[in-house]
Amino acid sequence: MATFYLIRHALNDYVGRALAGWMPGVHLNDEGREQARRLARTLGGRGITGIYASPLERAQETAEPLAAQTGLEVETRGVLGEVETGEWTNKTFAELEPDPRWRAYNQYRCGSRVPGGELMVEIQTRMVAEILRLHGAHPNGTMAIVSHGDPIRAALVYFLGMPLDFYQRIEILPASFSIIQVEEWGPVVLGLNQVA
């Protein structure tokens, strides 16, 4: 069986305030760097055999201490990236609140596309396909996947057998990890939103 640690990047100044999406130059803040170090200490002894990360700086910076702890290299995968937030990129939640499309998006993610961006089912498809691809390539591996909150939630609801619109019922904090095991007969979710 393959074990996957789905890790949300650590804290940056956009978390809880605005949508960074794929905007470059969003780095971990001081607290986030400390979270990444704690995460590396917590997961460093768990037999991780591969580290895969979103190309965005905040995910790479979260993965680096774990790579140093384990002696592994971070392999970058674009499919693990954040939601493509289109015209909402760099908008604060206060700016988005009056937009009826924002309200629709939050009420019905399964059928609402970000203007100029992605449908949640597209995000789920790319995340799940990569996890299953890694399972096929490393059926007995223990892999860390460093990604972003919504993509991780989308993958988790798939493996839990939940409707995609329920994804907001799962909390995924910065620098948290959730654990999935994938066996030939199917997946088992072993833990959600664990914090170092």
Sign of CA dihedral 96, 110, 147, 75: negative
- The answer to whether residues 54 and 81 touch, using CB atoms and an 8 Å cutoff, is yes
Q: In this predicted structure, what is the pLDDT of residue 168? A: 87
Q: Which residues contact 178 (CB under 8 A, 6 or more apart)?
A: 5, 6, 152, 156, 172, 189, 191, 192, 193, 194
Q: Is the pLDDT of residue 184 over 90?
A: no
Please determine, for residue 118, whether its predicted confidence score (pLDDT) is greater than 90. yes
Listed by start position, the domains of the chain span: 27-34+41-82+123-149+166-196, 84-117
Q: What are the distances in angstroms from CA 80 to CA 11, 95, 123?
A: 18, 27, 9
111 pLDDT higher than 90: no
CATH fold for domain 27-34+41-82+123-149+166-196: Rossmann fold (3.40.50)
Q: What is the pLDDT of residues 60-75, one digit of tens each?
A: 999 999 999 999 999 9
Report whether pLDDT(196) > 90: no
Per-residue pLDDT of 150-168, as tens digits, reads: 999 999 999 999 999 898 8
Give the model confidence (pLDDT) of 47-62 as tens digits. Answer: 999 999 999 999 999 9
